[in-house]
Structure 1
Amino acid sequence: MSASGGVPAPEIQLLGPVRAWLGDRQLDLGSAHRRTIFAVLAFSANRTVSREVLIDAVWGDAPPASAQGSIYTYISGLRRVLEPGRRKGAESQLIASTGSGYSLCVDPERIDVHRFSALRDLGNRLLAEGRRAEARSVLDEALAEWDGTPLQCLTGHYATAQRVRLEELRLATVERRAELAMDSGESAGLGAQLGELAAEHPFREPLHGLLMRALDQAGRHHEALTVYTELRERLIEASGTEPGPALRELYEKLLAADEAVAPAPVTKVPRFPLPVLPPRPATFAGREDELQLLSEAVAGLGGGLGRSVWVKGEPGIGRTALLAETVALAHEAGYPALFAAADSLDQGFALRPLLDALGVHPRASDLRRAELAVALAENPELDPVQGILGLVRQLCADGPLALVVDDLQWADETTLQVWQHLARETRRLPLLLVGASRPLPRSAALEALAADLSSGATSLLRLEPLPDSEIRKLSADLTGAPPNRMFSLLLSHAAGNPRYATEIIETLLANSMILLDGAHAIVDGSSCRSIPSPLGSRITLYLIFLSSSARDLLRWAALLGKEFSLADIAIATERAPTALVPAVEEALTAGVLVESGDLLAFRHPLLRRVLYEKTPAAMRVALHRQLAEALDGAGAGAERVAEQLAAAPAQVDPWVANWLVEHIGTVAAQSPRTAVDLLKQVVKQAVLPAEAREPLTATLARLLFWLGREPEAEARSVVARTQDSRQAAEMRWILAYIYYRRGEFAEASAEVRRTLADPKVPEMWRGRHETLRVTIERFAVDHQAAAPDLSELGVLDGLDNDADLSTARRLAATRAVPGEMHLAGAVHYYWRGRWGEALAELDTVIRGGAETASYVLRSPGSALLVHGVGALIASHRDEPDEARAHLDTAARHQFPHGLEPNGGDYLLAARAQLAELEGDPEAALAALLPLLDQNYPPAARQQWLPDLARLAMQLGDQPHAFRALRLMGDTSGYDTPPSHTAATAHCRGLVTADPDAILGAATHYESAGRMLKHARASEDAAILLAEYRRLDEARTAFLAALTSYTSVGAAWDVRRAETRMQPYGIRRASPVRARAAGE
C-alpha cells in the first residue's frame, strides 16, 4: 500500500518496541528521541501534531534552548529513512509540514495500535448485538496485535502515559475475552493466564473474580476460595476495606456450593504490616559526631544503660540514613532493633508507628504481642499507654532493645504521649529510643513533646548541612573520582544536603554527563546551564510536604533572585505583607528559606534554580518585565529593578528605555557586572529608541573600559552618531587609550589628533588628550615598554609631602580622570595619620557630582580603595562595627573573574586588621596571604608585607614570613623608591629578629611624615628590644609608638601595643588619651 503520491507506506508497530518496515526491510528509526517523535506522529496519524507537543513529549518541562532546532533535525532524519528515494528539496509525502507542526500521512490500518483499537471497538459492538462467538474471535485478533510492552525502551512522561493507557485497554480486553470464553464453557488454560495477570495486578477485583470462576470451572474449588481470602487480606492490610459486593457475592456462591469450607471471618482488623527496615546506605557522608554518640548509646545497652535520642533535620539531610546506621549498629552488637516510620495517612490510627515497630499484631508469633493487639482492638477502655509501656518493659526484661521510629512529625497524639513516657523509661531500662522528625508539620502535641524532651535527658541531634569536603567525598564515592572544579561548583547548589547532592550526581551519571580523566570526575560547563528534567522533577517532590500557599510563594521568590525581602514578595504577588507571613514562616521552619541579614534567601540554591527553570521561559521573561516595573513603582532600589530587566532581555519597550537612561548610572555604581550584562542585551535590540541608544551605548563603553575591556565597537558607534562634542571627545579618548594599550601608537595618535583638531572639544577633555598625546609619543619610541595602568594618571599615593600633593592636584584639574586626586589625597592623608582629612577626601568621592562619581567610585579599584581605607581608619579607631560596614559594602561590588583592580590591597589589609582587632590572628594572616601570589602587582603589596611577616612570625609560620621577605627583595620591573627600601628593612628585621633594622625603617617613616608606619615599626622594634633585655631602648621605642598612635587617634593600636609590652613589665608612666583625628 502507498501513501498519497504513490510513495510506499511503512508498517508501524507501537504495541511493543517502536519499529517500522518497508516491505521486508526493517527501518532504522534512530535514537530514542527520534523514535519518540515518530511514535507521537503515529498515534495521531493524519492529524497535525504541533512542535510544542513534540517538544513536550521528548523533554517534558525542561526542554533545552535548542529544542526547536532539534525537532527539525529529527524530522529531517525520519523523512530520509521513510522515503530513501525522495529527491533533495522535494516535498515529503509521508511526513508533511502543516502550519506549526507535522503530520504522518499513513493509513491507520498500517499501524498496530489503530488496528487494536478498531478491533476492540468492533468486538464490543458485536457483543452488544448478542453475537458473542464473533465478538470473542474479533477480540482474539485485537490481542494478537500485541508484541510486548508498548513503546518499549522509550522514557519520559508521554511514553509512560501511553503505556498506562494501553495496558489498561489490553487488560480490559483480556477480561472481556475471558468472560466470553467461560460463558461458553471453554475455560481450559485460562487459570494460568489469569493467575499471571492477577499477580501483576494484586488489587484488581474483576480480574480476581474471573480467576476464581476459571479455577472453579477447572475443578480447583479450594484454590478459587483462597484467591478471595488472600485478596481480602491484602485489601484490609493496604486500605482497611473489604472486597466489593460483586466479588463477595461470587465468593458466597462458591462457598455455598462447598459446605465443608469454613467461612472466612468478616471482622475488620486494623492494618499491622511488618515494617521494612531501612537499608544501610552504601555511601554514608559525614556525621562522625552523631555516629559516635549513637555508637556509644548502643554500647551502653550492654551495661544496662538506656538512652533517648531525637534526630531533627530537613528532608534529605540524612536523618533516615543515620537511623539505618543505628539499626545496623544494634544488630552488629547482637541486640534486637525495631524500626517503623510514621505516615501522613496514618494519623487517624492511634499508635500506628509504635504498633508497627513493636510487631503488635493478632497473628504475631510472640503471644505477648498478639494478646496486646487483640486487647487493643476489642477493649476501647484499655489504656494504650500502659499497654505499650508494659510490653516494652517485658521486652527489655528479655535483654537490651533498640526502638527506632522515623518521620514522627506525622505521628498521632497518642503515639507522642507514649513516646514521652518511653523517653523517661530509658533512665531505668536497657532501651535505646531513637526518634526522628522533619521541621514541619509541627502539631501542638509534637511541640509539647519537644519541650518535655529538651528539659529531660534526651540528646537532640540537629543535622546541619554537610561541609563541602564531605559532599566532594560523597561524589568521589559515587563516581569513582573526586569532582573537578566545575563539578564541585554544581554540587555546591545542594548547599550541603546529601540527598540533593546524590540526586545531582545520579542524574548526571544517568545522562552520561560525567567523564573520568584518571584524576577527577569531570562535567563541562554545558552540563550546568540548565537542570536536567529528571532532576528537577525529583527535587520538587521534596516540597510536597509544604502547603500550596508556601509553594506558590517559593515560585515567586525564585524569580526575585538570590536574596529578597518580604516586601519584594508582597509586590510580586500583589498581596499585603501580613498575609504572606504564615507561608514565609512555614518555609523558614522547614529550612527551605533562611534569613540573610534583613533579607530572605533559599537555603539550597539548587531548589531555587529548579523552581526557576520549572517556569516556562516565555512566561519568565514576561514576569521579570512585570516585576521590574512593579518594584520601581514601589520605590525599590535601582539594582533590584535592573536584576529583573537583565532576566528579561527581549522586553525592551519605552518604559524600559526611559528607566535605563535615568538609572543605569546608579546600577553601574552598585554592580558594574549587572549593568554591563543588561546594557549588552539592550543595545542589541532593534526596538531601542534612538534617543536612548546613544547614552546607553556610551555608558556601556565607559563601563567596559573601567573593567579592563576594549569597547572599541561601542565607542565607535557613539562617535558615529553623537552630536555632543563632550561625549565624542570622551569616546575618542577611550579609543585612543585602547590603541595605546595595544601598542598601536599610530592609530592612537591619529585618534588624538582628530579630537584636538575639533574646536568644539571642551577644555577639560582637550587637556586629557594633550596628556595622552605626550605619553603616546614618549612610549612610541620603545614599543617594548608596557602601557601604564590608567590609575597612574591620578592615584599618586607615594607623595611624601603636602606641597607635592597640591601641585599634583593642580595638574590633575585638566590632565587626570576626575576625582582620582581625591583618592590619592585620601591615601596620602591616611598614611600621614590625618584621618579627618582622609575621610573628607573619601566623602568627596562618594558624595561628589556626577563627574567624580561616574569615573571614580564606579571604577573597580576605586570602590575597593574607598571602602578599604574607610575600614582601616575605623578599625584603628577601635570602631569594629563601622569597619565591618565598609567591608560589607565592598563585598557587594562584583568584579569579573581574573580582574585584579588597584585598591584591592587596602581591602585585604582592612580585613586582616579587623580580624586581629577581634582576636583572630589566624584569620588576619589568611586575609593577607593573597599578597604572596606570584601574579599580585609588586608595587601594591610591598607596604603590607611587614604586617604579614609580623603575623606569620607571631604564629610560628616561618615559611610565609620568609616568602614575604623574598618578595620584598624582588624589585625587578620597577624603580625602587625610598619607601620600599624602608619597608624591606622593616620586613627583614621582623623575620631575622633584628630590632636595629626596624628602627632604621622607623626613622625613614618619621622623616617622610608616615606617622602610622613610624608607630608600627617603633612598636615592633620595642618588642624585639625587650626580648633582648635592652629595656631602656625598648621603653624609648614603646613611648615613640604610643606618642604616634595617640597623635593620630589610633585607640586600638594603643591598646594592642600595651598588651604586647605587658609581659616585659614596660608600661607608660601615665595614661595617654587617644585623641580623635583633627583635634
Structure 2
Amino acid sequence: MAVCSPQPTLVGRDDELDLLSRLLGEVMGGAGRSVWIEGEPGIGKSALLESFLAEAARRGCAVRSATAEEFGHRVPLHVMLECLGATPGSADPGLRDVAELLSCGAHGDPVTAAAERLLGHVDRLTADGPLVLAVDDLQWADEFSVPLLHRLSRLALRRPLLLVCVCRPAPRRPDLVTLRRGLTASDAEMLRLSALTPAAVATLAAGLAAALTVRPEKRPSISPALRETAEQAAGNPSYLRELLAALAREDRLRWDGDTVDVDSAEPPRTLADAVTDRLAFLSPGALELLRTAALLGRAFSVTCLEAVVGRSALELTAALEEATATGVLAESELLLAFRHPMVRQALYERPPAGLRLALHLQAARALADAGLAVEHVAEQLLAALRTSEHVPVGGWAVDWLLVAGRTLVGRAPRDAAELLGLAVAGLPADDPRRESLEAILATALVLLGRRDEAVRLAEKVAAATRDSVRAAEMSWTAAWAMTDDDRHEAALAVLGRALRAPGLSPAWSARLHAMLARAAIADGDLGRARAAARQALDEAARSGDRPAAAAAEHAAGLLLGHRGEPSEAAARFEHGLAVAELCDDPETQDLRLRLRQDRAYALLAQERHADADLAAGELLAAAERTAAPPRLACARILAADVHYHAGRWDDAVAQLDAAAASDDLIPAGDRRWLHGLAAVIAVHRDDQASAESHLGAVPAGETFAGTAYVPLARALLAERRDLTGEALAVLTGLLDRAGTVYHRHIWLPVLLRLALRDGDDALARAARVAAGEPAAAGTPAVSRTAVARHCAGLIESDAEALGAAVAAYRAMGRPLQLAQTLEDTAVVLAERGDLRAARTAHSEATELYTGLGARWDLLRADTRLRRHGVQRRRGPRRRAATGWEALTPAELTVARLVADGRPNPDIAASLFVSRRTVEVHVSHILSKLGVRSRVEIAREAAGRLELPSAV
C-alpha cells in the first residue's frame, strides 16, 4: 500500500477559531487585545495559529509572526527580529539599522536600544492599520524578547494590535510566568487547548488515513476498530498522526469500500521510537521517572512510584510537575495517569523484554517490602510471569502469597487465582507451603464461579490435610460451592462429615452449621435448617468469633425470610452486617455483600421501597469496588428487582443485561432469578421471543431464590397465547407451595382472574382464601390488604373493594399492580353500566402501562373493555423497534449526555446509576440507532435532541 505524509489538518477547533476571529474583528475596529494560547505538545497550537493568521491576512490585516527555536535563545531578541523582519537585507531602513545595531557591537546597551526601536516600529505599523503580531513556541524565546512582548501587550491596550503568544505549559520559566501573569492582569484572553472530542478525532483520523494511503475520498469513514485504535491518542492530533503513520508503514490500514479499517488492535511495532522521540522536550529526570511509572500501568499512585524508585515524594515533585504541566500525565482522582495510552505503551516497550521482566520483579519486591496494596504487588508479579513462561513463582513471592493471599483474593480474585495457580503448579508436592496456597486458591475459585474446580481442590485438601482447622475450612468451601450449584444433598453430606470430625472448634462448628442451614433451606428441609441455624448461633456466641457470628446471623435471616417474616429477617441481616463490618477482613467480604443483598431484598419485601432503593445502591457501589463477577451479577439482579417493582423497567433491563454477561458463573438460584424476572418483563412488553429465550435458560426444578418469577412468566406467556388451561396449571402449582410469600401479590390476582375467565369458581375461591390466609401473615399489612381486596373485588365484582386496592397500591408505589387493579376496576364498572367511570379507570391504567412499555397488558385491557363499548380515544403508538422512536426515556437521557460528550463515569454519577448500567444503555442505543460508536450517536443526535440535557 502506498504511503504519503499527510499535511497538518485543523479539525475540531471551531470554537477556538471563532474566539480568535472575534478578537480580530475587535482589532480591525480599532480595539487592541492580547491572547495567550497554551497546550501540551502536539495538541494543535501551531495549526490553530496558522489557520488564524491565514484568515487575518485574507481579511486584509497586516500579519507579523515567528516561531522561537530551542537554541535561538542564544541570540538577543532573536524571535522578535525574525517576527518583524529585522535583517541586514530588510527593505525597511529602520529594521536594517536594528539588525546592524545588534551585529556591530555598538557602544552602550545595543539590546535595549534595539528593543526600543522595534517597539517604535510596531507603533508605527499600527498607526497605518490593524496588526496581528504572533510568536509561536514562546517557551524557547530568548530572555530579551519576553520583556519586549510584555511592553507590546501594553501597547495593544491603546493601539489596533492583536498580540498572540503561543506557549507550552512547561518548562515554566520565571520570565514567562511573569509575562503570563501580566497578560492576565491586563484582561488578555487565555485560551488553553484541550483534547479533541471523539467526533473530531474520528474526522481527523479519516482524513489522515485517506491521505496516508493515497485514497483522498470525498467523505472517507473509519471502522469501529480503527476508531477505537485512534482513541489511544487521547485527542492529541500529533500522536494520532504518528499512530496512523505507523499503521500505514506496517501496511495495516485497508479499505473496504469507502471505509478504512485496521487489521488488529495491536499497537504498531514502529510506534514506540516515534512517540518517545516526541518526548525529547522533557528533562532527562522527568523522562526516566516516566519510564519507571510506565511499569505501574496507565494510572498509578505517587506512593507506589516512591517505593519503586526509592525516592521521596518531595524529591519527585519537580519531575512530576513537569510531566503534568506538559500534559504527559494528568490527575485521575487520587492517582496520576498517562493522558495518552500510546505514550505509556511506547515508554513501557522501550526496554527489552528481559529487562522489563527484571524491572517488574524488582517493582513487585519493592511494593511488597513497602507494605503497599497487595493488588499492586500482584500486578507486577503477573506482568513478569506473563512476560516469560519460564519464570517460576518462588522464593519471596510464595512466602508473600502465604501472608497476603487471602487479602488478594478479597480484592482481586482473578489475579489471585492466576497467581496462586502458578505458584501451586511450581511447588513440589512435598512442599509444606503448597497446601496452604491451595486452600486460599479454593476460595478464589468459588468467588469466580469456577465451582467444580473449587470442589475438587477443596475435597482434595480436606482429605490430605492433618490440620483440623484446614479440613473444616475446606469442607465449608466445598459445601459453599455445592450449595451455589444446587447440589444440596452433596453439600449436606460434606457438612455432616465435617461436623462429626474430632477436634472441631466452636468457631468452625458455627460456620459449618450456618452453611448447613443454608443448604437445608435450599433443599426445602426447614426443620433441619432451623436446628442448624440455632446451633450456629449458639456455637458462635460460645466462640466469640465474629465471622462465625455474622455467618450464623445470615443463616437465621435466610430462614426467617423463607418463612415469610421479612421484618425479622432484615433485623438479622442488619445485625450480621454490623458484626461483619467490625471484621473488615477478606474472609468476610463476600459474606458482607451477601448480607447487604439479602437485607435489601428483605426491605423490598416489607414494601420499604425507598430504603430498599438506597440499600440496593449501596450494595452495587460496594460490589463494583470489590466483588468478583458472579457476586456483582447477583447485586445487579437485586437492583433490577427493586427497579422492576418501582416501575423503572428500563433500568431493570439494563441491570439484568449487565448481569447476564456473567450468566455461566452465577449461582443456580440467582440464574433463575435473573431469567425469570427478565422473562416476566419481556412478556409484559410482548417480546415473546425474548421471554422464550430466558425461560429456555432455566432448568427444570424448584429452588428458593426468585422462582416465583419463572412460573409467573410461563403463565403469562401461556395466557398471551390464549392457553388459559396451561397458565392456570402453572399458577395452581404455586398456590400449594410454601415459601416465597412475598411474591403472592404478583400472581394471586392473575390466578384468580384467569380462573374466573375459565369458569373455575372453586379455584378462584381458593385464590381468594390464599390472599388472606395465615401463611401470608409475614407480608406487610398494606400489601396483604391490597391483595385481599383486589381478589375480593374480582370474585365479587365489587368496585368498592377494587377501589380500596387501587388506593393501597397507589400508596405502596406499585405501578404494575396499580395498573392491573385499575384495569380490573374498569371491567367491573363497565359490567355495571358505569361507562364513564370505567373509561376513567381504563385511561389511568393505559397511562401506567404505556409508561412501563407493557404492550401486552395494554392489548389485554383493550380487548377486555372493548366488548363493553369502552375504547381508548387515541391509543398509544407501539414503540418502534429501531431509530430514535425505539429509545426508552432512560436511553434518550443517556443519548443526550453521550451526544454532549460526557464519558460514561460522568453520566453514571449524574444519573445516580452504575457505570455498567450506562454501558448497557449505550449498547442498546447503538443497536437501535444502527450506529457503531458514540461519535455516530452524537452525529445522529444533531438537530434531534436538545443539548445539553438538564440532569
TM bucket, shorter chain: 0.5 to 0.7
Unpaired runs of 5+ in structure 2?
211-219, 386-390, 540-547, 661-670, 699-709, 713-739, 750-778, 789-807, 823-836, 841-951
Q: What does residue 600 of structure 1 align with?
A: 336
Amino acid at match of 1:634: A
SS at match of 2:71: helix
Q: What does residue 112 of structure 1 align with?
A: none
Shift of 1:980: 5.3
Whether contact under 8 Å (1:715, 1:731) holds in the other structure is: no
- 2-structure distance, mates of 1:1017, 1:807: 38
SS at match of 2:436: helix
SS at match of 1:639: helix
SS at match of 1:579: helix
Shift of 1:363: 0.3
SS at match of 1:386: helix
Change (3 A) 1:941 1:808: farther
Amino acid at match of 1:715: R
Q: What does residue 861 of structure 2 align with?
A: none
SS at match of 1:512: coil
- 1-structure distance, mates of 2:429, 2:809: 55
Q: What does residue 372 of structure 1 align with?
A: 98
- 1-structure distance, mates of 2:586, 2:303: 34
Shift of 1:646: 2.0
Matches within 5 A, 1:738-817: 809=533
Shift of 1:772: 12
User: How many residues were matched structurally?
Assistant: 688
Amino acid at match of 1:497: N
- 1-structure distance, mates of 2:747, 2:14: 47
1:615 to 345, 351, 361: 351
Bigger drift between 844-853 and 288-297 goes to: 844-853
Is 1:353 the counterpart of 2:79 in the alignment?
yes
SS at match of 1:435: strand
Shift of 1:314: 1.0
- 1-structure distance, mates of 2:405, 2:21: 60
Is 1:629 the counterpart of 2:365 in the alignment?
yes
Change (3 A) 1:594 1:942: farther
Is 1:454 the counterpart of 2:184 in the alignment?
yes
- 2-structure distance, mates of 1:902, 1:554: 40
TM-score, structure 2 as length reference: 0.59
Q: Deviations over 1:88-141 (max 9, x none)?
A: xxxxxxxxxxxxxxxxxxxxxxxxxxxxxxxxxxxxxxxxxxxxxxxxxxxxxx
Whether contact under 8 Å (1:752, 1:769) holds in the other structure is: no
Q: What does residue 904 of structure 1 align with?
A: 636
Unpaired runs of 5+ in structure 1?
1-152, 154-278, 774-789, 950-958, 987-999, 1031-1079
SS at match of 1:344: coil
- 2-structure distance, mates of 1:376, 1:825: 94
The structure that has the greater radius of gyration is 1
Is 1:400 the counterpart of 2:130 in the alignment?
yes
Whether contact under 8 Å (1:845, 1:852) holds in the other structure is: no
- 2-structure distance, mates of 1:871, 1:462: 51
Q: What does residue 407 of structure 2 align with?
A: 666
- 1-structure distance, mates of 2:498, 2:570: 44
Is 1:332 the counterpart of 2:58 in the alignment?
yes
SS at match of 2:384: coil
Matches within 5 A, 1:801-950: 809=533, 821=555, 838-848=573-583, 853=588, 856=591, 862=594, 865=597, 889-893=622-626, 895=628, 901-905=633-637, 930-931=654-655, 933=657, 939=673
Change (3 A) 1:730 1:575: closer
Whether contact under 8 Å (2:553, 2:576) holds in the other structure is: no
Q: Deviations over 1:430-467 (max 9, x none)?
A: 33322211111111111111111112221111122233
Shift of 1:902: 0.4
1:676 to 401, 405, 417: 417
Whether contact under 8 Å (2:482, 2:491) holds in the other structure is: no
Q: Deviations over 1:573-606 (max 9, x none)?
A: 2233332222222223223233333333323333
Q: Deviations over 1:594-650 (max 9, x none)?
A: 333333332333322222222332223223323333323222232222222222322
- 2-structure distance, mates of 1:591, 1:604: 9
Q: What does residue 868 of structure 2 align with?
A: none
State, as a whole percentage, how many aligned pairs show the same letter: 30
Matches within 5 A, 1:402-421: 402-421=132-151
Q: What does residue 692 of structure 1 align with?
A: 433
SS at match of 2:375: helix
Shift of 1:321: 1.8
- 1-structure distance, mates of 2:350, 2:42: 21
Q: What does residue 544 of structure 2 align with?
A: none
Shift of 1:906: 5.1
Amino acid at match of 2:42: G
Whether contact under 8 Å (2:135, 2:164) holds in the other structure is: yes
- 1-structure distance, mates of 2:37, 2:601: 48
Whether contact under 8 Å (1:440, 1:590) holds in the other structure is: yes
- 1-structure distance, mates of 2:142, 2:591: 65
Bigger drift between 295-304 and 433-442 goes to: 295-304
SS at match of 1:648: helix
Whether contact under 8 Å (1:942, 1:980) holds in the other structure is: no
SS at match of 2:634: coil
Whether contact under 8 Å (2:130, 2:160) holds in the other structure is: yes
Change (3 A) 1:318 1:282: closer
Shift of 1:749: 8.9
TM-score, structure 1 as length reference: 0.52
SS at match of 1:601: strand
Matches within 5 A, 1:440-589: 440-479=170-209, 484=223, 486-518=225-257, 521-523=260-262, 527-528=265-266, 531-589=267-325
Whether contact under 8 Å (2:254, 2:263) holds in the other structure is: no
SS at match of 1:902: helix
Amino acid at match of 1:502: R
- 2-structure distance, mates of 1:366, 1:874: 86
Amino acid at match of 2:151: H
SS at match of 2:150: helix
Change (3 A) 1:719 1:962: closer
Whether contact under 8 Å (1:622, 1:651) holds in the other structure is: no
Matches within 5 A, 1:214-293: 282-293=8-19
SS at match of 1:543: coil
2:813 to 1014, 1017, 1020: 1017
Q: What does residue 723 of structure 1 align with?
A: 465
Shift of 1:355: 1.7
Whether contact under 8 Å (1:310, 1:461) holds in the other structure is: yes
- 2-structure distance, mates of 1:654, 1:598: 33
- 2-structure distance, mates of 1:809, 1:501: 62
Amino acid at match of 2:352: P
Shift of 1:941: 9.8
Bigger drift between 350-359 and 398-407 goes to: 398-407
SS at match of 2:407: helix
Shift of 1:870: 14
Whether contact under 8 Å (1:719, 1:728) holds in the other structure is: no
